[in-house]
A and B are shown apart, each in its own frame.
Chain A
């Protein structure tokens, strides 16, 4: 079946602009995660959605970052007033119910000029 998809694959924006990154999880997966991967670095947890529960936002680096998940499926990560340090690859992953395995999308490479 279809895997996790993310769009756009690449995004170039100017400092101060807002951006929206989209994630389509695997159908039936109840958990959805966002991570940030800066150049040559590991994965930095951003936010976690599990079913209808309140999201775990503990990894969001500032109030410029927000995310929502509509209808328990598609998720959008929004970065307001982008800064150059926001340049990174943003990865989305989803997990099936009651299972800890994560399936990753290909990522969105964000470049802030």
Chain B
């Protein structure tokens, strides 16, 4: 069965430090992969996506993620974190079945940024 694991429930970093949020997935084929961010009281906003091609994808707000097939990972990175990045981050994999899409979300990683 398909699954997504975000091993870190909480992460705290200092403003200006680098960030890496981990995401591992289980899926038989090459999946569609996404990272979303959710600020308090808000819906989810798409940060970036991977469908195929270049395994390093760039997203909004200075985020990037790298697809590593051999490790079944799609980790999210940012070189220098800003206080406004404090939020919850969700990794998702999309499984396709007969032309329909089914999203599987990780349980999320809550990011705290220290001034």
List the interface of chain A (C-beta within 8 A of B): 4, 31, 33, 41-43, 45, 48, 50, 53, 56, 91, 93, 95, 100-107
List the interface of chain B (C-beta within 8 A of A): 32, 34, 36, 41-46, 49, 51, 90, 94, 96, 100-103, 105-108
Q: Is the CB of B43 within 8 A of A91?
A: yes
> What is the chain B residue whose CB lies nearest that of A106?
B43
Listed by A's residue number, 20 A-B pairs whose Cβ atoms lie within 8 Å are: A4-B43, A42-B107, A42-B108, A43-B90, A43-B103, A43-B105, A45-B102, A48-B100, A53-B100, A56-B102, A91-B43, A95-B101, A100-B96, A101-B34, A101-B46, A102-B34, A102-B44, A106-B42, A106-B43, A107-B42
B96 to chain A, nearest CB (A): 7
> A45–B94 Cα gap in the complex (Å)?
13
Instruction: Enumerate chain B residues within 8 angstroms of A91, measured Cβ to Cβ.
Output: 43-44
Q: Is the CB of B100 within 8 A of A56?
A: yes
> A43–B104 Cα gap in the complex (Å)?
9
Instruction: Enumerate chain B residues within 8 angstroms of A45, measured Cβ to Cβ.
Output: 102-103
Instruction: Enumerate chain A residues within 8 angstroms of B46, measured Cβ to Cβ.
Output: 101-103
Instruction: Enumerate chain A residues within 8 angstroms of B43, measured Cβ to Cβ.
Output: 4, 91, 104-107
Instruction: Enumerate chain A residues within 8 angstroms of B36, measured Cβ to Cβ.
Output: 104
